[in-house]
Amino acid sequence: MTDTTLSADQVADFLRENPDFFTAHAELFSTLQVPHPHGGRTISLGERQIFTLRERNREFEWRLNELISNASFNESISTKLTQWCCRLLGEVEIQRLPGEIALGLAQQFDLNEVGLRLWRLAELPETGYGEPVPEDVRTFTDSLKVPYCGTDTAFEAVKWLSATPRSLAMIPLRPAPEEPSIGLLVLGSDDAERFAPDKGTAFLETVGNLASATLRRLAAA
């Protein structure tokens, strides 16, 4: 005896190859019963399609809200970054630039702690932000190709902060990508997720580039 039972895949293939099937058999929409996706009862095929469309609309709405939220957050970051840059550009006294970099970041981005040490800058006195740092700190900074983010607080540079943060970012400062470093910027937060290791560093790299460009005014011999 030959088994003529169609498999689920064969039924699906038939419907795909015969798009007019439900036009010719429109009554199936009201009589064919399919399982409800969230319960044991059955509903008509038409109801199931409406339910599916509603689910998709909810998903699209959720994605749209996420995009709007991200856009709003990025706009806020861009505004704060612009305000910080205006502070740097508006400072006419070059000896005040390191303070504008550090304090400006703390204020604009609500950071709990900001540490900054600079070297190899001819116009910077060896006090305050120009206070000498151990050679291993310079070597470590030279080795950083991108900012470090994480919760490890055992670094020597963490001592520049008044309190130990729960997460931190360390941004190397250098005149150009392949040149030796001229300083290290340390950002600390009480939020362990603020500078989590799995977060991107594009924004921090921008901060480093802008700070480094600003400090060229202190490099003149």
pLDDT digits (tens, 9 = 90+) for 19-38: 777 677 766 666 666 666 66
Percentage of the chain with pLDDT > 90?
53
Domain boundaries, the chain: 91-220
pTM: 0.70
Any alpha helices (H) in the chain, and if so which ranges? 8-17, 21-24, 28-31, 45-90, 97-108, 135-143, 202-215
Q: What is the mean pLDDT of residues 56-85?
A: 81
Look at 25 and 82; give whichever has higher pLDDT: 82
Record: fold of 91-220? Beta-Lactamase (3.30.450)
Look at 51 and 105; give whichever has higher pLDDT: 105
Query: Helix-strand-coil percent breakdown of the chain, rounded to 5?
Result: 50, 15, 35
Residue positions counted in the chain: 221
- Over its C-alpha atoms, the chain yields an Rg (Å, rounded) of 30
